[in-house]
């Protein structure tokens, strides 16, 4: 579907068809992201070395910070572009796109440089021990120092394509990058590099795949032509002050939410590292294996935001509510099915990643507990994405900070102090249940205002 035809998708297409058009490529892209995120863990598990698996788990939250940086301008800029198109202001949408891209490039470059300079203290903060430190440093250098900029820019450009209804092209780029990574992983790990350097090979594969994905997005946007609002201008040609404010109003909460989400992973890893490398490896596998329903849910939410933002700005609140209801039911239904599958197949899922018996047994327990939070986890992301579509950055920021800084992370320390290792595993369920209740109350107030 070309960009010039997208008003039909936003305004007139039946809601299930519109959501499907946006959601199918987005969800497929998220699933490929899930697969290639798990690919490193899967192939590292083939080495039979839990320390490599643990090292990758330590770096995961720092790598995910690139998503936080991408969210600053990608989510905020994309939502604002959709609202501006709903208002018929294409010229200002062009300015927002250019501003968002330049901001992402600067912040990504600064973050990669910071990680390079502060590598040693960063690894100590993450809880890297003697057996994992070298592996973690090699992996971080590849995926963050070398690959941070293309990872961030690719994420931003994918969001921009979705904001104008080009979800198919965005999904294709994400899937392409993921599939390339899956192919390159075993090639670098077991063929091109000598034995003992498998984690370096995994990092190089991830870096190269993100570079290729970013290049694809750049070429696709160039081919959209002069009629597209996705056109890069001089960095000193700024959008209106109100547009900048809206980009930051939505982008900062999204970035903070992702940042705190990753901090939660850091805390989990640090607490687990105090028990054993086996426990750290087990929770590292679980944190990736449990992401299937979460990535599908995020894909549904990403597909929902442009349609909600467009209709919110154009004043068609009836259609907007139809989209919200349909996406909420779809996400909850998938989450419930996922809980049942995780409970039944947990041992087999763990053995996909590693055959070491103690890690499998411990990870099976962890996965069966953490999957109980799946529905609540989806609803937490659903409400935050929804508020981003409304441009209600204050509510989104409040919920993000409340969820992670005031509920989830403190709950981890409390439950760990009382119940030990298994208290950490139960933290997600207890915290997200409380957060969903608060989120629903905030949503009801916003709906009354509308």
Q: What is the pLDDT of residue 235?
A: 66
* Residue keyed to tokens 């192939």: 43
Q: Is 251 left (phi over 0), alpha (psi -120 to 50) or beta?
A: alpha
Structure tokens at 248: 């930051």
- Tell me whether residue 226 is exposed, middle or buried, using C-beta atoms within 10 angstroms of its C-beta: 0 to 12, 13 to 18, 19 or more: exposed
For the chain, which ranges sit under pLDDT 50?
Answer: 1-5
Look at residue 426 in the predicted model and tell me its pLDDT: 92
Non-local CB neighbours of 280 within 8 Å, separated by 6+ positions: 54, 57, 58, 269, 272, 273
**DSSP code of 228?**
S
The span from the CA of 414 to the CA of 421, in Å, is: 11
Indicate the DSSP class of residue 4.
G
User: CA separation (Å) from 269 to 211, 232, 273?
Assistant: 28, 40, 6
Residue 316, sorted as left (phi over 0), alpha (psi -120 to 50) or beta, turns out to be beta
Length of the chain: 450
Per-residue pLDDT, 6: 61
Contacts of 446 (CB under 8 A, 6+ apart): 387, 390, 392, 395
What six digits make up the tokens of 314? 């154009």
R_g (Cα) of the chain, nearest Å: 21
Whole-angstrom CA distances from 430 to 279, 337, 366, 372 are 21, 20, 15, 10
Query: What is the pLDDT at residue 450?
Result: 65
DSSP 315: T
Where are any strands of DSSP class E within 262-348? none
């Amino acid at each position: 579907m070309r960009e010039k035809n997208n008003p039909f998708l936003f305004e007139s297409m039946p809601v299930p068809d519109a959501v499907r058009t946006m959601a199918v490529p987005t969800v497929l892209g998220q699933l490929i992201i899930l697969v290639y995120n798990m690919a490193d863990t899967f192939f590292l598990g083939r080495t039979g070395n839990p320390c490599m698996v643990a090292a990758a788990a330590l770096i995961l939250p720092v790598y995910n910070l690139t998503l936080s940086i991408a969210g600053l301008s990608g989510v905020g800029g994309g939502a604002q572009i959709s609202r501006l198109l709903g208002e018929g202001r294409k010229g200002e949408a062009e300015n927002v796109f250019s501003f968002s891209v330049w901001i992402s490039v600067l912040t990504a470059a600064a973050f990669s440089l910071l990680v390079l300079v502060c590598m040693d203290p960063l690894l100590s903060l993450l809880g890297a021990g003697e057996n994992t430190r070298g592996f973690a440093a090699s992996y971080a250098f590849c995926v963050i120092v070398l690959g941070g900029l293309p990872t961030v820019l690719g994420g931003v450009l994918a969001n921009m394509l979705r904001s104008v209804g080009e979800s198919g092209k965005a999904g294709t780029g994400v899937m392409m990058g993921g599939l390339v990574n899956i192919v390159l992983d075993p090639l670098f790990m077991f063929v091109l590099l000598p034995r003992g350097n498998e984690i370096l090979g995994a990092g190089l594969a991830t870096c190269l795949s993100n570079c290729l994905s970013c290049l694809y997005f750049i070429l696709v946007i160039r081919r959209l032509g002069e009629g597209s609002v996705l056109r890069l201008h001089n960095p000193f040609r700024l959008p209106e002050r109100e547009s900048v404010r809206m980009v930051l109003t939505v982008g900062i909460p999204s970035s903070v939410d992702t940042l705190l989400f990753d901090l939660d992973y850091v805390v989990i890893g640090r607490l687990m590292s105090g028990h054993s490398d086996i426990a750290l490896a087990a929770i590292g596998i679980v944190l990736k294996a449990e992401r299937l329903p979460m990535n599908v849910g995020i894909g549904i939410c990403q597909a929902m935001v442009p349609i909600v933002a467009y209709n919110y700005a154009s004043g068609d609140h009836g259609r907007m509510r139809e989209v919200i209801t349909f996406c909420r039911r779809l996400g909850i239904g998938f989450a419930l099915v996922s809980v049942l599958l995780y409970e039944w197949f947990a041992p087999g899922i763990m053995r996909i990643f590693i055959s070491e018996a103690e890690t499998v047994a411990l990870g099976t327990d962890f996965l069966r507990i953490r999957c109980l939070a799946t529905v609540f986890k989806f609803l937490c992301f659903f409400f935050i994405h929804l508020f981003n579509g409304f441009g209600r950055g204050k509510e989104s920021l409040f919920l993000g900070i409340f969820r992670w800084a005031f509920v989830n992370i403190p709950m981890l320390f409390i439950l760990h102090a009382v119940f030990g290792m298994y208290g950490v595993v139960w933290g997600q369920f207890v915290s997200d249940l409380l957060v969903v209740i608060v989120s629903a109350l905030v949503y009801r107030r916003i709906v009354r205002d509308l």
